[in-house]
Structure 1
């Protein structure tokens, strides 16, 4: 299971990096989202994947899941949602003002 998750994390980071390097502002935002999802999966995988185990210690509990990675990922999900919504509003405002989402045109490096 960890091998499959590692491959999936690699795919998410690869596609996210590719999308960050494109010219479209919307693709950059989607790349940021994919990279944050990859980081969340990385945290879960590094903590060890355990199926069917409660994250709390009870009386006589021999195996339990560590609640710290779960708390970190929940916090990261909330932060990535806030950052994504801010970036979407910023991209919408940029498109309304400049009528383009091409980063080269926004940078002013392309002659018109």
Structure 2
């Protein structure tokens, strides 16, 4: 069995370039790295499968070939292509999501923010104090979280 050196060098180059791109921080470069590694693996499987031959269908011949082509390598490559495209779609979705989250979008003015920005500091303080202090005229006999504290009128 003879092994050709050129496809193995190409596999090594594609793998090293893919790993380099995969280690980058940008998702698009990571995607390109994944695609390069996927293609390198496909080429490696094709190289390891051996030379071409007759089709793997009984009774079919292709020229003067004496051996039959290995159908397992072809099935593995087709499966690897599908997996690579699935991973590529996932990374593209991540890239799009990251782009949507990190781009500046125009935010309209909130009417409540506009009202508070026009108020003076004392008005804001009075409004906050009014919200924090409960109305003491309303007293119920229902227990609340302060009834259990020592020194409180509600504790027994």
Give me the TM-score of the superposition, normalised by structure 2.
0.57
* Counterpart Cα distance in 2 of 1:27 and 1:74: 24
Question: CA distance change for structure 1 residues 25 and 65 in 2, over 3 Å: closer, same or farther?
Answer: same
| Gaps in structure 2 of 5+ consecutive residues | 104-156
- Give 1 or 2 for the bigger CA radius of gyration: 2
2:33 paired with 1:28: no
Could you say which residue in structure 2 is the equivalent of 1:56?
Answer: 57
Q: Is the CA contact 1:22–1:28 (under 8 Å) kept in the aligned structure 2?
A: yes
Could you say which residue in structure 2 is the equivalent of 1:15?
Answer: 17
Could you say which residue in structure 1 is the equivalent of 2:47?
Answer: 45
For residues 27-62 of structure 1, give each alpha carbon's deviation from its aligned partner in whole angstroms, at most 9, with x where no partner exists: 011101100111111111111132x63233427873
Q: Tell me the matched-pair count.
A: 98
| Alignment RMSD (CA, Å) | 2.0
Question: CA distance change for structure 1 residues 7 and 57 in 2, over 3 Å: closer, same or farther?
Answer: farther
Comparing both structures, which one devotes a greater share of its residues to helix?
1
Alpha-carbon deviation of 1:89? Answer: 1.2
